[in-house]
Every structure is written in C-alpha cells, then in structure tokens.
Structure 1
Amino acid sequence: MQGWYLLYCKGKQEATAKMHLEQRQIACFLPETEVERLKGGKRVKELQPLFPNYLFVRFDPHITPIRSIRSVPGVSSLVKTDGQITPVETSLVVSLRQRDVASSSMRDLPEVGDRVRILEGPFAELEAVYAEPDGETRSMLLLQLLGKQQRLSMDNLSFGRL
C-alpha cells in the first residue's frame, strides 16, 4: 500500500538521496528550516534539514522493491518499527508541508548592544548585553558580575532576546 515512509540517510546526504530518488520517480519530502549562522564574521541565512539525516519518501513497497530504495546513494536504511517498515501518518507529512518552517524556526541573532537573557547554565535567568559574534555558533556577551562587566562566550542557543 502506498504511503509515506521514513529513510535514514548517511551523514549530510539527505539532498543527494532526494535527488537520486526523484530521478527514479519516487516522491520525497525533506523538511527544511532557515537558520542564521555566522560565517567569516558575517550573518548568512541558509537552509538546513529540520530532521538531520531523515527523509520522507512516498512509495508502495509491494510495487517498488525496498532494496531499490536502500541502494540509492546517500541512503542508509528505512526506519523500522518492530523489524518492519511502517508508514508515517499522512497527516504528519501534510502538516509539515503546510507549516512555514523556514520563517517560524529561524534563529535571529541580536544586534550589538541588545539586551539578552541567558537561558541555561550557571548564569541562567541573568540579563546580559550582546557584544559580538564569537565564531559560527557562539557569541560574546557582557555580564555584570560582582560590580564588574565580564565578557562571556556562550552558545547562540543559550540566550535569547528580551
């Protein structure tokens, strides 16, 4: 019976697997989200898989042999439940397709001087000031501690705008 199934792909090979499957006339869906990263000190928006290493494919296992799916470049295996491939609820795929994942999940970095709240770690719930990017995934924050302003490097996901 035709349905949506979940593929596990080799590391960062989702797009390769999708391209080869679509060449074989197999419908694919790769949910992506737009993220803002720092590259060379500049903010760059790029698309990344919402579920890294996973790809949804629509086929009928009674018509399309499973080995022809598994042999596609970039594919590691089909996801199984109790040793059997199981279709994913169509409503899940439909809702993922309808949702504007790119705009709702984008991570905006604050501007220099913006106030932020630390979300995790030993300084959780404290306020700080965004100072500057510190590599691709970290930022420098200015934190008032013991009457002095301290510079603190934190992961970009560990703080949020006020």
Structure 2
Amino acid sequence: MNDAQRQWFALRVTYARELKIKDYLDSQQIECYVPMQYEMRTRGERRRRMLVPAIHNLLFVHIDAATLRELKATDLPIRYMMDRETRRPIVIPDKQMEDFIRIVASGIEHVEVVDSQRIRFAEGDRVRVTAGPFCGVEGVYVRYKGHSKVALSIGGLLTALTAYVPLDCVEKIP
C-alpha cells in the first residue's frame, strides 16, 4: 500500500464491536485507532477502573480508498461515515488525526471526548498550544464547563477537549 495514498477514514461499527473489528484489522496489518478512556464500572460490589471505547461504534482506519472499498465489500459490520455536504466518506487530515490521537492517548485524566453535536461554540480563534503535554497541538480555543480548553474537531463527528490549558500556553495562529 502506497503511504502517499493512505488517508484516515471514520467508520461506524454496529453493536459495539469496535474492539473486535480493531483486532481483525490489526491482524491484517491495517492501521486503525479506537479512542479509549478510563471509566469506573461496578460489578457486584467491586468498582473497577476499566479502559473502554470513548465513543461506542466508532473506528478510524488509515488506508487507501481502494483497500477501504474492498474492506467494505466483506461481511464486516462497518459503514462509512459520510460527509453530508459532499456525500463522500469523511476523510480526516493526517495532522488533525495525529493531534487527536495525541490528546486522547495522553492518559491525562481530564481529557474528554464528546460528540461534536454537544458542543455549540461560536467561531473561535485557531490556536496552538505552546507548552505542556499538548505542546504543538492545534485547534480552536473554547471555554467548556467554565475552563479554558483547546478543542480539536474530527470531521464534525467528535471533538477532543484538552485538559485545562492556561492562557499563557496558547498562541493565536494567524
């Protein structure tokens, strides 16, 4: 597979089988990503901190379009996530996906992944984080739940919000 032709695509997986599909794609050496987060779960009287998908039924694959069509033609329970305007599969730019993975996989406790429909913010300034664990991440400066954060929207599907970012660690991108 030619690296220049590979793109990140968002896929919808049915019945919360994103981890099973990820295992299959890993076995086929297809790069994929499922955003994960820790959650407290109770089983009986025991409370455990478990790593679970942040958004159920969502999977990202880094693949060329022809291989994606072949994968879609199999009996795997996947669907393209479509851009409503262009009516084409959603493609996420590499830099945006790298930043998203960096935020979500940071392991920092106060990082949230939320459905973009839940965040309604006015046109914000494009910003870059200049210090701290998210140094270099680019996104939109927002105030969410009373805190300064950098929001990185992924194809209009999800928005990853960094943990609190001090104003002196953010610069405006011209």
Please classify the TM superposition score into its range, dividing by the shorter chain length: 0.5 to 0.7
1:47 to 48, 51, 62: 51
Rg bigger for which structure?
1
Confirm whether residue 87 of structure 1 aligns to residue 95 of structure 2.
no
TM-score for the superposition, normalised by structure 1: 0.56
Structure 1: 4+ residue segments shifted above 3 A: 100-103
The aligned residue for residue 23 of structure 1 is 27
> Within 5 A, what are the aligned runs for 1:106-145?
none
Runs of at least 5 residues in structure 1 that lack an aligned partner in the other structure: 107-162
Q: Counterpart of 2:79?
A: 77
- Structure 2 spans left out of the alignment, 5+ residues: 112-174
| Secondary structure class of the residue paired with 1:56 | strand
SS of alignment partner, residue 84 of structure 1: coil
Q: 1:34 to 1:51 in 2, by over 3 A?
A: same
Checking the alignment, whether the CA contact within 8 Å between 2:72 and 2:78 is kept in structure 1 is no
Show CA shifts across 1:135-159 (max 9, x none).
xxxxxxxxxxxxxxxxxxxxxxxxx
8 Å CA contact retained: 1:8, 1:77: yes
Distance across 2 between alignment mates of 1:65 and 1:7:
10
Q: What letter corresponds to residue 27 of structure 1 in structure 2?
A: E
Total equivalences in the alignment: 105
Is the partner of 2:11 in helix, strand or coil? strand
Q: TM-score, normalised by structure 2?
A: 0.53
SS at match of 1:7: strand
Of residues 78, 99, 104 in structure 1, which corresponds to 2:109?
Answer: 104
Query: What is the percentage of aligned positions where both structures have the same residue?
Result: 19
